[in-house]
Each structure stands twice: as structure tokens, then as C-alpha cells.
């Protein structure tokens, strides 16, 4: 089983945005103006549609904010913009290495950030709002059982064919409702990620928050994150130590479709 140390990602395109230095694709001035105008026009056209299973879909980003602005102390390492994820490619819908959340969730996350900063930690965000097109990308990847490039890193103990049945991949994700995020702790004293005893997006029992076959320190680190998130209205997931959803999420029945980019919320 390969458990990368989160500092050595040799061979992968790991997009890290630390908020103060967002990496952006250079555009000439005319193109930027044209794209901005097109974005504003599209933003005015709110569309509500329904998937075949009845799921409500919307492109309305009016209540979403950039985490780099709402929670300025957070570090962003958006894995699905990079190639270091269980698919091995940049995921559809991730146009920039930024993170979006509903304003309600972002406000509560800022409270978490302030609490943890007093204890010497910053939040490190792996993923937040996830567009439906990204979830569809995951589904298509899961259906291709021969593509196992990232198996050694993310699901070494599982056959790819069981990922649907065991709930690791699904047709819809709570992330698409805009109030769910994946994150860890960054120790300001050591300037490193806190050791959680397992890597983000690892498919297996190792990722369960209460997994016992890790060190006491690793378990306590998971509990520090969990307690702080729960203190401010986020509920954890039993299968993933990094995953939290705002308990009073504002759009519990709506799944959003707009891409992950700054233009989506301008």
C-alpha cells in the first residue's frame, strides 16, 4: 500500500493555490474582456432542470463565494484541478484551482478557521463545491474498469469494479449542493500538513475517522479537526475523516452545475 507523504508528488501535476498567489492562465486583454462579458451574460440566465432520476439541477451561483475571500487564512490544494487524484486527470468542471461554497457554509468555516488558528492551525482545503459534471466524470471513470493508473495510491485493497456497490462513487454528490467540503489541518509551527494517518481520498477503512489501527497522535489529530468543525455546525461523515457538510445547508435538494472558477461567482 502506497501512502504518499503529501510533500512529494513527483510525476503529478499538483495545483496548489495558497490564496495569496493564485495561479491563473494568462489571457490577453481583449480575450479577458470578451470572456468576462460572456460570463456576465450567462450568469443572468438561471436554469433549473431535472435529471432522469428527478434530481433538481441549477446553474445559479448567486449565493456562492470564493473561499480565498471568505476564509483568507485557508490554504487551497484543489486536487481535482490537478492530476493527483484517484482518476489521474484534471476533472471536468474544475477550470481554476479555486474553492467555492455557499455563503452560509463559508461563514461558518471562517468561524472554524478562527478557532483553529488560535491553536496553531490553518485549514487546508482539498475540495469544496463540486459541479455535477465532475461527478459524471467520476462515474464514467468508474465504469472503465481497465483504467487503474491510480490504484496503488487510492484503492490498493479494492477491485475497481466494487467502487459503485461500496458507495465510493455515486451518480450525485453532496458536494454539488455547495455546503460540503474536504479538508485537513496545516500546522503553522512545522509548516506541514498534520499527520492524519492516511491520505485524502483513500478508499478503505483507514479513512474512517474512528479507525483504530493508527497512532494515538494521528487519531487525536483527526478529532481536533472533527471537533472544531462540529462546534460550528458541520456534520462529519463516518467513512471519511476529511469530509464535512453544513448541517443546516441552505440548498439540501438542489445540485449545481456551474464550473469551479472565479467567473462563476463574479
Query: What is the model's pLDDT at position 266?
Result: 86
Cell 492530476 found at: 83
Which cell is 121 given? 492551525
Q: How confident is the model over 81-103, as a mean pLDDT?
A: 99
The CA-to-CA distance between both ends of the chain, in Å, stands at 43
Which of 21-35, 102-116, 219-233 has the lowest average pLDDT?
A: 21-35
Question: What percent of the chain shows pLDDT beyond 90?
Answer: 83
Dihedral Cα 117, 118, 119, 125, nearest 10 deg = -10
- Alpha-carbon torsion angle 206, 211, 214, 217, nearest 10: 120
What is the band of 10 on the pLDDT scale with cuts at 50, 70, 90? Answer: low
Cβ-contact 249, 256 below 8 angstroms: no
Instruction: Kindly tell me if the per-residue pLDDT of 68 is higher than 70.
Output: yes
Q: Judge whether residue 18 has pLDDT over 70.
A: no
| Per-residue confidence (pLDDT) for residue 14, from 0 to 100 | 60
What mean pLDDT comes out for the span 179-190? Answer: 99
Q: What is the CA radius of gyration of the chain?
A: 18
Output the nine-digit C-alpha cell for 142. 468508474
Instruction: Give the phi and the psi of residue 32 in degrees, each rounded to 5.
Output: -65, -40
Q: Summarize the confidence of residues 145-158 as an average pLDDT.
A: 98
Give the residue from 69, 193, 68 showing the smallest Cα distance to 121.
193
- pLDDT of the residue at 15: 52
Cβ atoms 84, 126 nearer than 8 A: no
Copy the grid coordinates of residue 213.
489501527
Asked whether residue 1 carries a pLDDT value surpassing 50, the answer given is no
Q: What is the mean pLDDT of residues 183-197?
A: 98
pLDDT (tens digit per residue) in 97-151: 999 999 999 999 999 999 999 999 999 999 999 999 999 999 999 999 999 999 9
Identify any residues that bridge with 186 across adjacent strands, giving them in sequence order: 122, 193
Query: Looking at residue 25, what is its pLDDT?
Result: 35
Residue 45: predicted pLDDT: 84
Task: Say what the pLDDT of residue 35 is.
Answer: 42
Q: Quick one: CATH architecture of 56-265?
A: 2-Layer Sandwich (3.30)
Its pTM stands at 0.87
Domain boundaries, the chain: 56-265
List active site positions. Answer: 240
Q: Is 164 left (phi over 0), alpha (psi -120 to 50) or beta?
A: alpha
Q: Is the pLDDT of residue 22 over 80?
A: no
| pLDDT tier, 206 (very low <50, low <70, confident <90, very high otherwise) | very high
Amino acid at each position: 500500500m502506497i501512502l504518499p507523504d503529501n510533500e512529494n508528488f513527483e510525476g503529478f501535476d499538483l495545483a496548489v493555490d495558497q490564496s495569496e498567489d493564485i495561479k491563473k492562465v494568462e489571457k490577453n486583454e481583449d480575450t479577458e474582456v470578451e470572456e468576462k462579458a460572456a460570463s456576465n451574460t450567462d450568469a443572468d440566465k438561471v436554469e433549473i432542470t431535472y435529471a432522469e432520476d428527478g434530481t433538481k439541477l441549477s446553474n445559479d451561483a448567486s449565493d456562492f463565494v470564493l473561499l480565498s475571500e471568505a476564509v483568507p487564512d485557508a490554504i487551497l490544494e484543489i486536487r481535482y484541478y490537478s492530476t493527483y487524484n484517484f482518476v489521474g486527470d484534471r476533472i471536468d468542471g474544475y477550470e481554476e484551482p479555486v474553492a467555492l461554497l455557499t455563503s452560509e457554509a463559508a461563514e461558518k468555516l471562517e468561524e472554524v478557521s478562527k478557532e483553529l488558528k488560535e491553536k496553531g492551525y490553518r485549514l487546508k482545503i482539498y475540495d469544496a463545491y463540486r459541479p455535477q459534471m465532475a461527478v459524471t466524470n467520476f462515474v464514467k471513470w468508474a465504469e472503465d474498469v481497465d483504467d487503474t493508473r491510480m490504484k496503488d495510491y487510492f484503492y490498493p485493497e479494492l477491485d475497481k469494479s466494487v467502487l459503485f456497490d461500496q458507495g465510493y462513487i455515486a451518480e450525485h454528490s453532496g458536494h454539488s449542493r455547495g455546503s460540503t467540503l474536504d479538508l485537513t489541518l496545516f500546522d503553522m509551527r512545522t509548516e506541514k500538513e498534520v499527520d492524519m494517518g492516511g491520505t485524502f481520498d483513500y478508499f478503505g477503512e483507514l479513512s474512517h475517522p474512528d479507525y483504530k489501527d493508527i497512532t494515538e497522535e494521528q487519531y487525536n489529530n483527526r478529532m481536533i479537526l472533527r471537533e472544531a468543525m462540529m462546534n460550528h455546525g458541520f456534520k462529519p461523515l463516518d467513512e471519511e475523516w476529511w469530509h464535512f457538510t453544513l448541517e443546516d445547508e441552505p440548498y439540501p435538494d438542489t445540485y449545481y452545475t456551474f464550473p469551479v472558477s472565479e467567473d462563476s461567482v463574479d
